[in-house]
Amino acid sequence: MRVTLVRHATLILELDGRRLLLDPQLDPEGARPPIPNTPNPRRNPLVPLPMPAEDVVRGLDAVVVTHLHNDHLDETAMRLLPRDVPVFCQPEDEGRLRELGLDARPVADAVEWEGVTIHRTGGRHGKGAIADMLAPVSGFVLDGVYVAGDTVWCDEVAAAIEKHRPRAAVVNAGGARFVDSDPFVMTAADVLEVSARVPVVVAVHMEAINHCVLTRPELRAAAPEVLIPADGETVEV
């Protein structure tokens, strides 16, 4: 599988001639206000797309949306996504995606699609009350690649790795947090927990939204074995 980081958590997955788009956040740089109560009050997204948004959605065979926070499905993506391809999602999001005219395909546990099994996994978008407030979130396993979604290291992530034994994992790092909260996506320590259990780890979700405080250089120093692509870069997993 070829994995291209577009920006933040937006990925293009190329699998056996199929092109899948994951968590499309396609708004122009600075289109939205800062996420409030966060350490870096800059408008979002912090950086431009490395390619035109129209190119990102061209020639898609399917879309995967892990959850509906607007840094994973934004207004530009809602407008540009094709209405004639399946959009795999967690069951809680089916209704909203159908309201947008999208071909929502909820994944309760697993679904078969054109010879590919898509498994849904659990996660915790933080700890305690923050996780409850930001729930629900999901991850997905496609062809042996585990896309963890917005989660910290937790029992659900450990269980997903134990069950599916992925050959590679894509994790959302960035250590996103509010001023007065613990991180609610993976920190460097969380990424190292995954790296200790999965042969290849790709870390994304950094340096594009104002609540993400862990930078690529900081993670690279802490976890030199982890692949940390630049926006627009493609890696093989």
How many residues belong to the chain?
237
E strands along the chain, which residues? 2-7, 10-15, 18-22, 62-65, 86-89, 103-106, 110-113, 116-121, 139-142, 145-147, 168-172, 200-204, 234-236
Q: What does the pLDDT average to over 171-184?
A: 96
Number of domains in the chain: 1
The CATH number of whichever domain residue 192 belongs to comes to 3.60.15.10
Q: Which residue range forms the structural domain that includes residue 147? A: 2-232
SS (H, E, C) 114-142: CCEEEEEECCCCCCHHHHHHHCCCCEEEE
Q: Is 237 inside any structural domain? A: no
Q: How confident is the model at residue 231 (pLDDT cuts 50, 70, 90)?
A: very high
pLDDT of 2 over the 90 cut: yes
Q: Is 212 inside any structural domain? A: yes
Query: Residues 105-132: pLDDT tens digits?
Result: 999 999 999 999 999 999 999 999 999 9
Query: Residues 43-102: pLDDT tens digits?
Result: 999 999 999 999 999 999 999 999 999 999 999 999 999 999 999 999 999 999 999 999
Query: Residues 4-38: pLDDT tens digits?
Result: 999 999 999 999 999 999 999 999 999 999 999 99
Q: What is the pTM of this model?
A: 0.97
pLDDT of 160 over the 90 cut: yes
Q: Is 145 inside any structural domain? A: yes
Return contacts of 142-146, CB within 8 angstroms, 24+ apart: 142/1, 142/13, 142/15, 142/20, 142/64, 142/116, 142/118, 143/1, 143/15, 143/16, 143/116, 143/117, 144/168, 145/1, 145/3, 145/13, 145/169, 145/170, 145/237, 146/121, 146/170, 146/198
